[in-house]
A and B are shown apart, each in its own frame.
Chain A
Amino acid sequence: MNNNAIKELLYKMADDLLIIGHRNSEWTGLGPILEEDISFSSMAQDKIGQSQALYQLLHELGEQDPDTLAFSRSAAQFHNCQLVELPNGEYDFSLVRHFLFDHADQLRFEMLANSSYEPLAKVARKVKGELKYHVFHANTWMVKLGSANEESHTRMQAALNQAWNYALGIFEEGSFEEELATTGVFEGEKELFNKWLANITPQLLKAGLILPAQDTWMPIAGGRIGNHTAHLSPLVEEMSEVFRIDPSAEW
């Protein structure tokens, strides 16, 4: 099995989870109601814990330890999709992003639960159980806010339109798609995208929201090869601010 192919897969997944977890945690103390403050914090803890488990797999493949990987790389060394690095914006955008990303990630981990790369399959079997609740949370809120009143509907639709092309960037293909598929590690981004679209379409319908017209779809890619928006660099700086005071120290 090609370790570089597996590493590429692990890096993008781990980075997605770390960065969206970090963004989720920014809602702490600021949620629209206390219960949502608490929900976003729970999801953030899950996601950051999941990213740690994936960095650990990378470490076992010879990469640096999880703390060093997470807290000392520069923005250009991150492989997350751009969707997760965008600022939280208002609750509408955070929620739509959460919906779009978590549907994709739940499916990704479901697919990986049967991966031929057993260490990843093992992590995936645990993670998919956690993500089930994240998706449940997203679905519930999408339906409620998508059709509660004119303001909430308008906001949610606008947020969906704004997030959409970034969400398509989740499925940016890597250089080892075919190899990962033929060796049974991961079926690939195309397959994932198709399943995702099939899953979210009825949910959006239920929420009274309209998928942007297909001829306007323009996937915003680049994140997987280290091309990021201007928002990632300050996030990474902030995240590693204390760690960098003395990376060799125990904190």
Chain B
Amino acid sequence: MYGNAYIDPNEKAAGILAGEDPQKLAEFEARIARGEKIEPKDWMPKEYRKQLIRMIEQHAHSEIIGALPEGTWITRAPGFKRKLALMAKVQDEVGHGQLLYSAAETLGKSREAMINDLITGKSKYSNVFNYPAFTWADACVIAWLIDAGAIINQVANAKGSYGPYCRALDRICTEESFHLKYGHDNVVTLATGSPVQRKMVQEALNRWWPPIMHFFGPSDKISNHTEILMRWKVKMATNDDMRQQFLNMYVPKIWDLGLTVPDVNLKKNEATGKWDYTEPDWEEFKRVINGDGPCNAERLAVRRNAEERGRWVREALNTTDSKYIVPLA
């Protein structure tokens, strides 16, 4: 998983390039157009740096917050095979967080500052993790379909222009492809299992469908801003294109398992080759992303608590090698 680094496509473009040296900017854009990667010490426009930090940071946060809903099922996973695999998967996700924080740090923001912004609610993470994983089947659906969505996003972003982010994503995508297999295997097992298991997985899919449709973000209005970010290869595909790609790849697989998707309007439009669907509730999306979802408060409270409880350890790590000696009196 997990991150879909979400850029608000509707942010105003005005002022993005204000104060940039036109010659340097032209050279920078020419490099990107030639397919070169931008490296940490290279010149870059302020807006490029800002958007990348925001994107990579959000992605990193999504990895560590995403570990929470799945992590609660590690202690309940049924049987050795599932328990070991889920532990390894969630560990990978935390590792992705570590890798991404390092990539973002190359742009000048420290991991600590990023985590502070996460726990104070200043920076966001993927909206899907503000929903609860009620049953084992929810964890299975997350592992399959949310990871599938994330892979679509990440494979696209891995072709972006910022070197450290691309390299992190290449490695992440390799691991993600195993997660996808893990998730799929779990869902297949439940969908072909006992009536109780089938019911569990169908109910989980029903619960997770709206957040999955939200996952790629709202429709892009082609703004000046989006255009610049796409020219700079910060944003690599539109939200709608990624959503279509997801539906195209996974709806047939869901149907193959005899599961249904809770959207009566979902069908492939033969004329356009695209999927028709009921427009997701973007008001709910906004409400949840702004803090009012079923689990926002809980997720942040857990993360904040972990930070608080671990503070003494981090402080101890910051001490020099000189040893603390217990005073004699």
Tell me whether B315 and A67 are in contact (CB under 8 A). Answer: no
A250, B189: Cβ atoms under 8 Å?
yes
Within 8 A of A (CB), among B115-157: 136
Q: Quick check: B71 and A48 within 8 Å, CB to CB? A: no
**CB-defined contacts of A22 to chain B, threshold 8 Å:** 75
A-chain residues with CB within 8 Å of residue B317 when the two chains form the complex: 33, 144, 148
Chain A residues with Cβ below 8 Å from B97 are 34
Please tell me if the beta carbons of A70 and B80 are within 8 angstroms of each other in the complex: yes
From A24-32, A103-111, A224-232, the one touching the partner chain is A24-32
| Interface mask (B190-203 → A, CB under 8 Å = 1, otherwise 0) | 00011011000000
What are the residues of chain B within 8 A of A152 when measuring CB–CB?
A: 312-313, 315-316, 324
Q: Can you list, as one digit per residue, whether each of A233-251 has a CB less than 8 Å from chain B (1) or not (0)?
A: 0010011011101100111
Determine the distance from Cα of A156 to Cα of B189 in the docked complex, in whole angstroms.
Answer: 45
A127 contacts the other chain (CB 8 A): no
Q: Which of A48, A148, A238, A250 contacts B84 (CB 8 A)?
A: A48
The reply to whether the CB of B101 lies closer than 8 angstroms to some CB of chain A is yes
Beta-carbon nearest neighbor of A239 in chain B: B75
**Known A-B contacts A149-B315, A246-B196, A251-B78; A45 and B91 likewise in contact (beta carbons under 8 Å):** yes
Closest to A39 in B: B91
Assess A149 versus B71: contact at CB under 8 Å? Given A70-B80, A208-B326, A245-B196.
no
* Tally of A interface residues using CB under 8 Å: 49
CB distance from B117 to the nearest CB of A (A): 16
Indicate if the CB atoms of A147 and B323 lie closer than 8 Å: yes
Q: How far is the CB of A103 from chain B (nearest CB, A)?
A: 21
A71/B67 contact (C-beta < 8 A), A45-B88, A90-B309, A246-B197 known: no
The answer for the CA separation of A135 and B266 in the assembled complex, in Å, is 55
In the complex, how many angstroms separate the beta carbon of B139 from the nearest chain A beta carbon? 10
On whether the beta carbons of A28 and B87 are closer than 8 Å, the reply is yes
CA distance A152 to B323 in the complex (A): 12
Q: Which of B286-317 contact A (CB under 8 A)?
A: 302, 306, 309-317
A35–B98 contact, CB under 8 A? yes
Distance to closest chain A CB from B59 (angstroms): 14
Is B171 on the interface with A (CB-CB < 8 A)?
no
CB distance from B83 to the nearest CB of A (A): 6
Report yes or no: B78 in contact with A45, Cβ–Cβ below 8 A.
no
Residues of B27-47 contacting chain A, CB below 8 A: none
Q: Are A239 and B326 interface neighbours, CB within 8 A?
A: no
Closest to A52 in B: B80
Chain B nearest CB from A123 CB (Å) reads 15
* Known contacts A34-B94, A37-B94, A151 near B316 by CB under 8 Å: yes
B309's partner among A32, A242, A251 (CB-CB below 8 A) is A32
For A137, the chain B residues whose CB sits under 8 A away are none
User: Considering the chains assembled together, what is the distance between the CA atoms of A36 and B312 in angstroms?
Assistant: 14
Contact B197 A249 (CB under 8 A): yes
Is B210 at the interface (CB under 8 A from chain A)? no
- In the complex, whether A167 has a CB less than 8 A from a CB of chain B is no
A34 CA / B99 CA spacing, docked (Å): 10
Q: Do residues B90 and A151 form an inter-chain contact, with CB atoms below 8 A?
A: no
- Contact partner, A67, options B75, B79, B90, B324, Cβ 8 Å: B79
Is there contact, CB below 8 Å, between A38 and B98? yes
A26 CA / B91 CA spacing, docked (Å): 12
CA of A246 to CA of B136, assembled, Å = 13
Q: Cβ of B98 and Cβ of A42 under 8 Å apart?
A: no
Evaluate contact between B324 and A148: CB separation under 8 angstroms. yes
Query: A6 on the interface (CB 8 Å rule)?
Result: no
- The answer on a CB contact under 8 Å between A155 and B87 is no
**Structural contact, B310 and A91, CB atoms closer than 8 A:** yes
Q: Give the residue of B64, B87, B193 whose beta carbon is less than 8 angstroms from that of A250.
A: B193
Could you say which of A31, A45, A90, A144 contacts B87, with CB atoms under 8 Å apart? Answer: A45
Name B76's contact: one of A30, A37, A38, A239 (CB within 8 Å).
A239
Residues in B lying within 8 Å of A, measured CB to CB: 64, 67-68, 71, 74-80, 82-84, 87-88, 90-91, 94-95, 97-98, 101, 136, 189, 193-194, 196-197, 302, 306, 309-317, 319, 323-326
A interface list, Cβ under 8 A from B? 22, 25-26, 28-38, 41-42, 44-45, 48-49, 52, 66-67, 70-71, 90-91, 144-145, 147-153, 155, 208, 235, 238-239, 241-243, 245-246, 249-251
Assuming A29-B94, A33-B310, A36-B313, what are 19 further A-B pairs, CB within 8 angstroms?
A25-B87, A26-B75, A28-B71, A29-B90, A33-B317, A34-B95, A38-B95, A41-B87, A45-B87, A48-B83, A48-B87, A149-B319, A238-B76, A242-B78, A246-B196, A249-B194, A249-B196, A251-B82, A251-B189
Q: Can you list 19 pairs linking A and B with CB atoms under 8 Å apart?
A: A28-B90, A29-B67, A29-B90, A30-B306, A31-B310, A32-B310, A41-B90, A45-B84, A48-B80, A149-B315, A149-B316, A149-B324, A151-B312, A151-B315, A152-B324, A238-B75, A242-B136, A243-B78, A246-B197
